[in-house]
Amino acid sequence: MNDTGPYLLLADTILVIHFSLVVFVVLGLLAIVVGRLIGWTWIYGRTFRISHLLVIGIVIAQAWLGRLCPLTILESFLRGKAGQAGYSETFVGYWLHRILFFNAQPWVFTLIYTVFGGLVFLFWAIDRKKAPKG
């Protein structure tokens, strides 16, 4: 492995973590909606609900403050250290970026994050008394 290999591996690892958080937020809300309909009790778990709300809350705060996600910044830094420009990366990096990012004005993302976060908060507020004790 050359000197850039570890940076590239770390950049891809950050990308996978970033992608996993996106999946957690999106599928988490879907699970909450479906779970309410079919009676899943795990969706009321305090740890799941608070972490779900926290992750989307951080995304909303970053969007409103006009800040890039620290994971995006770290990944870009690591890719630069690996000698890559922009987002020309490995196979895994390329496809995960194609799924996560698309071209739109920043306000569109802020609106999407805010509406989505509002739904997460609404379901949390409605369901918080159903959370199991202990």
Q: Where are the domains of the chain?
A: 5-130
- Rank 12-16, 72-76, 95-99 by mean pLDDT and report only the highest: 12-16
Place of tokens 């926290």: 54
**Mean pLDDT, all residues of the chain:** 84
d(CA 131, CA 70): 31
Is the pLDDT reported for residue 96 higher than 90?
A: no
Euclidean distance between CA atoms 51 and 116, whole angstroms: 15
Task: With 0.85 as the threshold, say if the pTM is over it.
Answer: no
21-38 tens-digit pLDDT: 989 999 999 999 999 999
Share of the chain above pLDDT 70, in %: 81
